[in-house]
Chain A
Amino acid sequence: MNSNAMRAAVGVAVIVVAIVLLVVLRKSDSSNTTSNTSGKVPTIVVKNGKPVGGVRNLTYNKGEQIRFKVESDVSDEVHVHGYDIMKDVKAGGSVSFDFPANIEGVFEAELEGRKEQIIELTVNP
């Protein structure tokens, strides 16, 4: 290879290595987020029709059991998209979910009537 080729090759290699590092580093950052496989059942509190603390991220591996509870001060229907599970919640009441993580992907759970997302549900393979 001549010098021009070497320069181009080095340039390309640097770009790729930089991007790989960027992504790998990003991944290790995000891996700090809590998994919900053990411990107590996560509870999402809804105040004035919005989730307290923003949309909750829940992450599971396929085959695990998805459990969470929604406490709401408004009456609405909680809809887990993709899994298509719907449960009504009364104002001031709560509703519990318990179903197997058998579909991979990223799904929303929302207050159907308000179109308000409360959970981002991630199921890894």
Chain B
Amino acid sequence: MSLLLPVAHALVARKDLPIPAWLFAWGASIVLIISFFALSAAWRKPRFEQERWRPVGAGFSRALLSMPVQVLCGVVGIFLLGFSIYAGLHGTEAPDRNFALTFIFVTAWLGFPLFSVIFGDVFRPFNPWRAIGRMVGGAFSAVAGQRPGHLTYPERLGRWPAAIGLLAVVWLEVVYGASGGVAVGLSPDAAGLAALIYSIYTLAMMALFGVEKWCQRGEIFSVYFGMFSQLGTFGVKDGRLGRRLPLSASTHWATVPGSAAVVIASIASTSFDGAQEGAFKSGILQTFEWLAEAGFSLTTSLRLTDTIFMLLCFAGVGLVYLIGVRGMATVRGAPPLKKLREGFAHTLIPIAFAYLVAHYFSLFVFQEQAQFTYLLSDPLGTATTDLFGTASGGIDFKLLSANAIWYVQVGALVIGHVVGLTLAHDRATAYWGDYRQAARSQYWMLAVMVAFTCFGLYLLSVANA
């Protein structure tokens, strides 16, 4: 082969070692054993359909949700967005030395899913576009003496704008940055420009449909991070912070159309990122050469190839889910197909989270060291500033041993599998009055979950994300 497709991640100086065959075998075996156990020893009544939400201390809740705190969080969010755009456009073009790329695609993009699971929807107060939208709306109300009017959001669209947007973000991160047939990764100025364009688009949509409505349906980051917050125990209800049964909020998340597409897009984009240098490598190379010979420029060929494979991932993950849903529909007493399709989408959220942890855990740990040392003190990468005295710091790659990374990766997939199965079984007992039919329907979801988990393990065994 004369053409080489180098690394897509311009940030990482290190890739994970593939998990060894013995660990793969153990992981897959454990998944299988747990799955059989789940078939036999399952409960008969739904446990997660009710949130059982109860408020935390009133003083703490009031302080945390008070207007000054909201304004402060909003200002922090706006500052970080503005600074990322500025650093992207005016900082160094070395991707690993510019604040913008690491902050947007590692600290925020990978950090918020993690913190959302632990602490609830923490992105909401920091969402810079929501903060700007609320300020503008407040100013409008003060001047005009009435609240701004909005178009009615077409509910048929549901969360589809966010699902497509999610694919677009990952596309920008791992596909767009190509030059002359070489994947060079996204450049900081392109990232800055993209953030600027997305800000304008988001604010326009908020003006059209209302700030909160757009955050619930179309704003990529709100919808995506909000999805993960459904798994956790903390949630705000009627302006009050409270705790609920973990996982329970997710059971009603997917009733909005397009929600399944958001979860599937998440699993698919992580799969693609993991597979492009491993499982899909030869396929990508062949398609790339074929397109290049067909007369496309090298850059176009590479982008086109990656786009095709990314969409194939989306279609593939979606197909596996839909087969599972179709299968469940054949079980006696099944609700209509549409209800099944929406009713089990949330069971994939733990799988999506497990995929994120498995593929990006080491990247996150290593790259955050950069974020809090040289990228903090020298955000523009000019080598002339040292704001906090940490500009000469670096990444300690000895922090995590290969073994530690492997166990976290396999552990995340196995736990995600168990949680997904739990949610699916729980939903089945709610949909099928008869316990035995509910259990029968779950052979299908079990096959879906085993497929995703083993595919995840397989990706880890051949690829270095």
Chain A positions near chain B (C-beta within 8 angstroms): 1-2, 4-5, 8-9, 11-13, 15-16, 19-20, 22-24, 26-27, 54-55, 81-82, 84, 102-108, 115, 117, 122, 124-125
Contacts and interface: CB of A to CB of B under 8 A. Distances in A.
B15 A105 contact: yes
Interface residues of B, number: 40
A104 B364 CA distance: 17
Contacts of A106: 14-17, 464
Contacts of A117: 4, 6-7
B401 A104 contact: yes
B458 A19 contact: yes
Grouping DSSP codes into helix (H, G, I), strand (E, B) and loop, the B interface class, with mixed when no group exceeds half, is helix
B398 A16 contact: no
Contact of A108 (B7, B397, B403, B450): B7
Nearest to A125: B402
B107 to A, nearest CB: 21
A35 to B, nearest CB: 15
Contacts of A103: 14, 397-398
A121 to B, nearest CB: 10
A81 B443 CA distance: 47
Interface in B1-53: 1, 4, 6-7, 13-17, 20-21, 24-25, 28-29, 31-32, 35-36, 39
Interface in B396-410: 397-398, 401-403
Given A12-B447, A105-B16, A19 B454 contact: yes
Grouping DSSP codes into helix (H, G, I), strand (E, B) and loop, the A interface class, with mixed when no group exceeds half, is mixed
A37 B416 CA distance: 39
Interface in B247-288: none
Given A81-B13, A108-B13, A20 B443 contact: no
Contacts of B4: 54-55, 117
B184 interface: yes
Given A16-B28, A108-B7, A23 B461 contact: yes
A12 B450 contact: yes
Contacts of A81: 13-14
A111 to B, nearest CB: 12
Contacts of B134: none
Given A19-B458, A108-B7, A122 B398 contact: no
Contacts of A104: 17, 401-402
Contacts of B39: 1, 5, 9
A45 to B, nearest CB: 17
Nearest to A107: B14
B402 A20 contact: no
A105 B14 contact: yes
B97 to A, nearest CB: 13
B451 interface: yes
A60 B20 CA distance: 15
A82 B14 contact: yes
B440 interface: yes
Contacts of B397: 82, 103, 105
Nearest to A6: B443
Contact of A125 (B28, B36, B184, B401): B401
Nearest to B458: A19
A69 B450 CA distance: 46
Given A23-B21, A104-B17, A122-B17, A16 B32 contact: yes
Nearest to A51: B4
B110 interface: no
B410 to A, nearest CB: 13
Contact of B443 (A5, A26, A82, A108): A5
Nearest to B402: A104
Contact of B403 (A12, A24, A122, A125): A125
A24 B36 contact: no
B375 to A, nearest CB: 16
B361 to A, nearest CB: 13
Given A12-B447, A24-B25, A124-B17, A4 B402 contact: no
A105 B17 contact: yes
Contacts of B461: 23, 27
A105 B462 contact: no
22 contacts: A4-B440, A5-B39, A5-B443, A12-B447, A16-B31, A16-B454, A19-B454, A23-B24, A23-B462, A54-B1, A82-B14, A82-B397, A104-B401, A104-B402, A105-B14, A105-B17, A105-B402, A106-B16, A106-B464, A107-B14, A108-B7, A125-B403
Contact of A8 (B16, B403, B447, B454): B447
Nearest to A13: B32
B71 to A, nearest CB: 43
Given A15-B454, A104-B401, A20 B15 contact: no
Contacts of B106: none
Nearest to A8: B443
B44 to A, nearest CB: 17
Contacts of A8: 443-444, 446-447
B394 interface: yes
A24 to B, nearest CB: 5
Interface in B411-465: 440, 443-444, 446-447, 450-451, 454, 457-458, 461-462, 464
B307 to A, nearest CB: 24
